[in-house]
Structure 1
């Protein structure tokens, strides 16, 4: 499929952004736009000309109710779709779709649809995250040819990005609550819809939320991550541990795995780049997790600009504890009747594999939500230049904790007719647990044996 170029909406941005990488932070005068013409995280404060994208208005922490398990009610449950995009009318909306989204209508013309609802821009984060972001704007810089950061505090390093790789760093480092424990599932359905679930217990703690964190000696760690497989029985007890580094060229990601069957801990260098994703039947790579993660060093990054696009947002319906996993997982794709799309502004960044580097994806097109810096859609191309896989996130704002993240991630393989659905928790005993504290001793290789006992 021919790659569609995105026009740069300079008038809407009010900024001049060169496509080449700029190593310097922005001026104090530019940073002063944060909280005025720009939101504190760097999105345009104003809506678009016709009002179909509204101005930013923070959602209150009591926007809905929270049940005993931590699941959120849908603040927009009474709304009906403005219209629904189907294979029959998709060409009317093609200019506001990613090539991968458009391809899904062609691949599944009878069942794929996108219900489009009124747009609501209510994402906000705690005041200390805004403060750190503003300091980053004037101090944070790219180092190691764009593969690392210096003078970085936490959360978003480049709220007024000057290059494609800066936008990607915003996604990699974005605020996700500081620390999180969660129970989630992953499904890899067959083309006929048959599937089995893999269950995970996960913990992620960013460095500044560690009890023993010393900001004067922050080092090269971004966060600590632990993932334990709890089912099915053949995989139960396996544990992954990751020390995520800020500069993975200078100091590659440190990863270990505890194999419950062998009862031993070993280094896991394959947990990076295009190494196989955990229990995913070869349908995703390690760097497909969280839509995209890891070092940006294997690609050349180009900032194409901004565009208006339909993306999945305010996805409370698909995260409902009233749903069963069977309600969500269907043949070819998830149940699109449970989805919600809104018109939003996104940053478009293309990643082209560098000469001499290796990866199964020769090119990737990223569409990053301006309000959260989360990847909304990523198109993946193979070595022949053919569109291969389409990643789409279903974003949810955890208003009670002021945390934007995902209710569900999907990765569709257009060639095999299979897909991965990651992060579902509908039938689990609890929702996300934010704000817990830990020490680095809890994220050491020697701690894995205790974690992995069956």
Structure 2
């Protein structure tokens, strides 16, 4: 199979995860930074001129920005080119996902998609680009797609037509090295009521900690630690996750700390379709961050590449000038505050294997070609009906630089409730990357109780 991008039509490629895929040649890798962006997107714009060429992304913060504070919107003066509503939906359906269309059908009077000028702001540090080019020629899938090897801290498979490789590109994408965030999450009920759970979150991306290292000896992709600050009945509780790179060698390890009992316990079921309690079951463990963990329960295929109106450069929805009350509306977040742009996405689909169990019989993911971030996810129930729509409202973290989510929102079309993560409008700032990364002992289970007592 030729591993190159194509602009000619929509190509359906059924790819079994137990097939061996070789790295690309040096000649093919030379496309990175030339006809392809350094992370593997198409450098050129589209024929219509509605998607511009990539010219380096957004790498300089606006004047006055300080690390850790709420992001200043570099496009604050721009106005929507047009707004998609239920009334004009048919005109734009070809550039929308099934999930977006379903949100219009579910909330015809309130849901909208304001469309702005497209800015290809995706970028990463030069060392990530260099490592990505190395990976293109060396990285390979292992263990039936449950891991990859011979990769440095960068996109593992920047030149690929393999759906499983694309999933790993999303899971292992660059989002800084160490960050500390104070944020809240909420389940918004059908009538618009909600309760906030606030926490301090810390994440250390071990895959990127040593810029020149090939993988890591302890098999850790990242450490994640979250301590609940409020409400009072939950305060002090914590979750610690060790996410592994080789899912066959060692599955994810997780621990929970109960502040009332002052006990640390293993959380062995924090994977696949285990319901997340804070989301009232709306979000499954593996839909956190749009998708995470082993891809082994699905048959994956590439549907093709498509131009879609997707959330991009969303600064307004996390602005301190927007209150949670204004943002969190019945049915969906206040979509008038969102920013959407026309971008190319890879479309991949997973169908549940006959011998596997999961609440989702099918999943369709839409990955931003410039960052490999899953921006939209359509999730189907056992009857084959669209059940949930997950949306990552992307923005550029220009202080890194990197594309990551401003908010992750998980819409349950059947119950008409939704769950929101990463709310920071009313917090002290956004994720802070300026602090020095702690050593590995900081993320050990034994440290959970000591910190919880304090």
1:347 match: secondary structure: strand
Give the superposition deviation at 1:250: 2.7
1:318 match: secondary structure: helix
Q: Is the 8 A contact 2:5 2:161 kept in 1?
A: no
Of the structure 1 ranges 106-115 and 354-363, higher mean CA displacement relative to structure 2 is found in: 354-363
Give the superposition deviation at 1:400: 2.3
The separation in 2 between residues aligned to 1:323 and 1:197, in whole angstroms, is 16
May I ask how many residue pairs the two structures share in their alignment?
A: 447
Match of 1:267 in 2: 266
Q: Does 1:317 align with 2:313?
A: no
| TM-score normalised by L of structure 2 | 0.94
2:48 to 46, 50, 55: 50
Give the superposition deviation at 1:63: 3.8
Match of 1:5 in 2: none
Q: Is the 8 A contact 2:224 2:240 kept in 1?
A: yes
Match of 1:24 in 2: 22
After superposition, the C-alpha distances for 1:120-175 in whole angstroms (9 at most, x for unaligned) are 00211101100111111100000101111110112310001131011110000000
After superposition, the C-alpha distances for 1:218-268 in whole angstroms (9 at most, x for unaligned) are 342111111111111111111111111112233111111111122111110
1:452 match: secondary structure: helix
Q: Give unpaired runs (5+ residues) of structure 2.
A: none
Q: Is the 8 A contact 1:179 1:209 kept in 2?
A: no
Match of 1:181 in 2: 180
Within a 5 Å distance, the mapping from 1:226-265 to structure 2 comes to 226-265=225-264
Q: Is the 8 A contact 2:153 2:213 kept in 1?
A: no
Q: Is the 8 A contact 1:137 1:157 kept in 2?
A: yes
Match of 1:221 in 2: 220
Match of 1:389 in 2: 388
Of the structure 1 ranges 231-240 and 331-340, higher mean CA displacement relative to structure 2 is found in: 231-240
Distance 1:114 1:69, change over 3 A: same
Match of 2:452 in 1: 452
Of the structure 1 ranges 149-158 and 110-119, higher mean CA displacement relative to structure 2 is found in: 149-158
The separation in 2 between residues aligned to 1:173 and 1:73, in whole angstroms, is 27
Give the superposition deviation at 1:25: 1.0
The separation in 1 between residues aligned to 2:209 and 2:312, in whole angstroms, is 31
Q: Does 1:378 align with 2:377?
A: yes
Give the superposition deviation at 1:453: 2.6
Q: Does 1:10 align with 2:11?
A: no
Give the superposition deviation at 1:209: 5.5
The separation in 2 between residues aligned to 1:106 and 1:249, in whole angstroms, is 41
Q: Is the 8 A contact 1:9 1:307 kept in 2?
A: no
Give the superposition deviation at 1:361: 0.8
Q: Is the 8 A contact 2:314 2:406 kept in 1?
A: yes
Distance 1:417 1:360, change over 3 A: same
Q: Does 1:90 align with 2:93?
A: no
Q: Is the 8 A contact 2:151 2:214 kept in 1?
A: no
Q: Is the 8 A contact 2:14 2:301 kept in 1?
A: no
1:156 match: secondary structure: coil
The separation in 1 between residues aligned to 2:305 and 2:391, in whole angstroms, is 18
Of the structure 1 ranges 256-265 and 36-45, higher mean CA displacement relative to structure 2 is found in: 256-265
Q: Is the 8 A contact 1:346 1:368 kept in 2?
A: yes
Distance 1:15 1:384, change over 3 A: closer
2:7 match: secondary structure: helix
After superposition, the C-alpha distances for 1:264-295 in whole angstroms (9 at most, x for unaligned) are 11110121111122411111111121111111
Q: CA RMSD in A?
A: 2.2
Give the superposition deviation at 1:17: 7.0
Match of 2:35 in 1: 37
Give the superposition deviation at 1:13: 9.1
